[in-house]
Amino acid sequence: MSESSNSKSMWDLAKGISTILIPILIATFGWFFSKQQHQVEIEKQYLDRVASLLEDLANKDSKKRALAITYMNHLAKKNQIDSTLAQSLAEVSLKFIYGDSTYDNVSAQIVKDNFEDVFKTDAVMKSISPRVFIHIQAEEQRKDAKIIKSELEQYGFTVPGIEKLEIVLSKNQLKYFRKREQAEADTIIAFIKRIPTISIDLHPVDLSDKYENSAKVRPRTFELWLKDEKTN
């Protein structure tokens, strides 16, 4: 067979192979490209979902926040969001709830219902500052209450205010709501007793039987109840 015949045969063979391979290659690359596009779309949807959750978790609207927490737990159970990420977001949300000046116990309860481990962790509780609410029975007590408030704030406590309540007390009380907060309650009592211009007999009151695992009261919350010495 002549050289030109061999060349023609090789060319015809190459053409035949290319006729078969080109559609296969096109189909293969098309499948690969479609798969990549699909993966990119899935990742975009995931990021959009997380971004939307973050926006709702930080929302001041307690209803939106509560729905977002419940929805996030649903997504985690369905493996539509990483469970570790969901736990972290729940923790951030709980810190936001605790850090807000107006404590939203409804949203806190939703976190407890959906992410109980996050609700119980000490790390979240230790990240918030302790606060002391002061209650008096008579206006004459406000002066001493203001001194206590000022001293506590300098010590690092948040004191939202002083409230007068018409409740008869037999003794001055510092109420705490969780067993693990007893030591901190004792520290507050000792601190108040050391204020040089204040002479006060102060007793701890443990309410942990009712509130130990409750979301109704924000962790590290204490209540100082001062009796009116003139009427008691």
- If asked whether residues 8 and 92 sit together in one domain, one would say yes
- If asked whether residues 98 and 133 sit together in one domain, one would say no
Give the mean pLDDT of 119-124.
84
Q: Which residues pair with 135 in a beta bridge?
A: 163, 225
Asked if 73 and 112 count as a contact pair (C-beta separation under 8 A), the reply is: no
pLDDT, tens only, 58-85: 777 888 888 888 888 888 888 888 888 8
pLDDT band at 92 (very low <50, low <70, confident <90, very high): confident
- If asked whether residues 102 and 176 sit together in one domain, one would say no
pLDDT, tens only, 195-205: 998 888 899 99
- If asked whether residues 108 and 207 sit together in one domain, one would say no
pLDDT, tens only, 9-24: 555 554 555 565 556 5
Tokens of 92: 């951030």
- If asked whether residues 117 and 35 sit together in one domain, one would say yes
Residue 232 domain-assigned?
no
> 28: which residues sit within 8 A by CB, 6+ positions away?
none
Q: Which residues pair with 173 in a beta bridge?
A: 203, 225
Q: Helix (H, G, I), strand (E, B), or coil: what is residue 228? A: coil
Instruction: Count Cβ atoms within 10 A of the Cβ of residue 81 and give its class: 0-12 exposed, 13-18 middle, 19 or more buried.
Output: buried
Instruction: Count Cβ atoms within 10 A of the Cβ of residue 135 and give its class: 0-12 exposed, 13-18 middle, 19 or more buried.
Output: buried
Which phi and psi angles does 221 have, rounded to 5°? -110, 135
Q: Which of 231, 2, 221 is nearest to 103 (CA)?
A: 221
Residue 231 domain-assigned?
no
Residue 86 domain-assigned?
yes
Q: What domain range includes position 10?
A: 1-126
Tokens of 137: 């029975």
- Domain count for the chain: 2
CATH value at residue 172: 3.30.70
- If asked whether residues 144 and 102 sit together in one domain, one would say no
- If asked whether residues 69 and 146 sit together in one domain, one would say no
- If asked whether residues 107 and 212 sit together in one domain, one would say no
Q: Residue 138 and residue 24: Cα distance in Å, rounded? A: 90
